[in-house]
Amino acid sequence: MQIQRRGRMPRSVASSGVASRVIDMKIVDIIRQPAVTIPVSASIATAAQRMRAWNVGILTVLDEEDRLVGVITDRDIVVRFVSRDETAMHVRVGDVMTPKVLTCFDSQTIEDAAAAMGDHQVRRLPVCDEAKRLLGVLSVDRIAEEYSEHLAGEALGEIVETRGGQVTKDLHR
């Protein structure tokens, strides 16, 4: 299946004066090369290990003749495999969770939260009160929907930027 262009150019692109540059850009200009692949006969464990090693959420699946036969995503592994695997049910969340979590206070500005998301390359921030009780979660999506698409876009640009090692810590420490 090939993609088809639908609708019209987003207003932000059309009004920014960069429409011609954006239209001239091709998919090849922005794709990850080379694609991270896996043989159709590989195990789910191998797929998960490869995703972790390459820091990707999708692998292209090739047959014995190196033809594309599908894709497998991290979500496929969770929804179609882990959720049905009884041995996986015995693994505790604490064994696989990220223990050092970036958080923010409910009294901080959205700009501060968006900046922290970009700086630490996270899409979601748990929101706590001054007593450090969890109140909810702020996502880049919610910033875009409820506050500013521009600010969310800036944060997302920082989040997806390739960088060296990173340290995650509390925003309010």
Q: Summarize pLDDT for 55-102 with one digit per residue, the tens.
A: 888 898 988 888 888 888 888 888 877 777 667 656 666 676 677 888
Per-residue pLDDT band at 150 (split at 50, 70, 90): very high
Distance (Å, rounded) from C-alpha 141 to C-alpha 107? 19
pLDDT of 102 reads 87
Other CB atoms within a 10 A radius of the CB of residue 155 amount to 26
Task: Report yes or no on whether pTM surpasses 0.85.
Answer: no
Q: According to the model, what pLDDT value does residue 118 have?
A: 95
Rounded to the nearest 10 degrees, the angle between the axes of helix 149-160 and helix 110-120 is 20
Looking at residue 11, its pLDDT comes to: 41
